[in-house]
Structure 1
Amino acid sequence: MKLTVPTMLTLLRIVLIPVLVLVFYLPYKWTNFAAAFIFALASITDWLDGWIARRYNQYSAFGAFLDPVADKLMVATALVIIVQGHHTVWMALWAAVIIGREIAVSALREWMAELGQRARVAVANVGKIKTVVQMVALLCLLYSVTPDSQARADIWLGEQIFRIGDWLLAAAALLTLWSGFEYLRVAWPVLRDDVRS
């Protein structure tokens, strides 16, 4: 199997996951910057691998499989460590909604692929907006949340950045529900017909 540049960028995103966790829990004042930087770098590689694949026609079946897996792993990991650092009911609820939707949509896509209807559940515009809002929210929260639930008083505008991230995560969760409903709405006629047969 030949590794393309987009696939190597996707693999880098997976390698960055344990690095993100390790850096988040280091007992230094600069770790919030480092954790946010690592997540930002992973987000940029997510955009960049797709752009390179389209621009230079470097598609591969392995890359197509690995890219969404890497995205979901990075987002789920970020959500888990943020909830551990700021364990409130609302933060846990938003995280559960986002992770649960990712699992449900992945299962739906697999089911549709088995029925030969995968193209019907392609990424919609609301899903792309959700992704942007979610990435910005997680970036803000990784910058402003600590592993021990203590506020970072030494961070410039840390509390305001946390509030922005908190509200954006709630918006991302609502967009997640909306996009999940859209996926289900498009797939429902095929699923209904398959159940009847």
Structure 2
Amino acid sequence: MWNLPNILTLLRIGLIPVFIAIYYSSWEWHNLIAAAVFGVAAATDWVDGYMARKYDQVTPFGAFLDPVADKLIVVAAMVMLLEVHASPWFSVASIIIIGREIVISALREWMAEMGYSGTVAVAMIGKVKTWVQMVAIAVLLAAKPENELLTNLGFIAIYIAAGLTLWSMIHYLRAAWPQLSGTTTSK
């Protein structure tokens, strides 16, 4: 259980209160430092998965904790950014992103209970969605609201992430539809 990929995943979770505390500090460059810490945490998502596969260190604990860490860091940042970028458009994107995480987590749990966990395994669209979200969030953390260019780039990226979020949710729901609709009875 205590291998480097799992330690990196735990580090990602541990960095959440760090980037939040830095973001809310009064330091001159607090937003850039918080974005950098968030970026380091986000990068551990790729590194821990790569290392776990390459060095055959995939564990049940890591398989459970990795997606949880991703959801925690994204939701924490989105909720925090809602305060700074309070607008209906950012709220809609946030609800889509956070809502999808809840729906897909519940779907995966239910599918695993039914014995169909492979049906909703992570797909490439889910990985792309995660990385676009992470980049968009890092940009928005770095952007002060008065920096219109960076803020607008962050908004464009978060809207793209919201679109990919919907697309990935539809992908997973379509894959699970035979079990959800009751049209498949055999495993």
TM-score by length of 2: 0.95
Gaps of 5+ in 2: none
The question of 1:171 aligning with 2:160 is answered: yes
SS at match of 1:131: helix
Structure 2 CA distance, aligned partners of 1:128 and 1:55? 18
Query: In the TM superposition, what is the alpha-carbon distance from 1:125 to its structure 2 partner?
Result: 2.1
Structure 2 CA distance, aligned partners of 1:64 and 1:121? 14
The question of 1:88 aligning with 2:87 is answered: yes
- Residue matched to 2:129: 130
Q: Are 2:178 and 2:184, in contact at CA under 8 Å, matched by a contact in 1? A: no
Query: In the TM superposition, what is the alpha-carbon distance from 1:190 to its structure 2 partner?
Result: 1.2
Moved more, 186-195 or 122-131: 186-195
Identity of aligned residues (%): 49
Q: Are 2:108 and 2:120, in contact at CA under 8 Å, matched by a contact in 1? A: yes
Structure 2 CA distance, aligned partners of 1:60 and 1:179? 25
The question of 1:103 aligning with 2:102 is answered: yes
- Residue matched to 1:113: 112
- Residue matched to 2:180: 191
Moved more, 24-33 or 101-110: 24-33
- Residue matched to 2:55: 56
- Residue matched to 2:64: 65
What letter corresponds to residue 59 of structure 1 in structure 2? V
Structure 2 CA distance, aligned partners of 1:43 and 1:28? 23
Query: In the TM superposition, what is the alpha-carbon distance from 1:144 to its structure 2 partner?
Result: 0.6
TM-score by length of 1: 0.90
What letter corresponds to residue 55 of structure 2 in structure 1? Y
Gaps of 5+ in 1: 152-157
What letter corresponds to residue 168 of structure 1 in structure 2? A
The question of 1:13 aligning with 2:2 is answered: no
Structure 2 CA distance, aligned partners of 1:21 and 1:40? 13
The runs of at least 4 consecutive aligned structure 1 residues that moved more than 6 Å come to none
Query: In the TM superposition, what is the alpha-carbon distance from 1:43 to its structure 2 partner?
Result: 1.0
Q: CA RMSD for the aligned pairs?
A: 1.6
What letter corresponds to residue 185 of structure 1 in structure 2? R
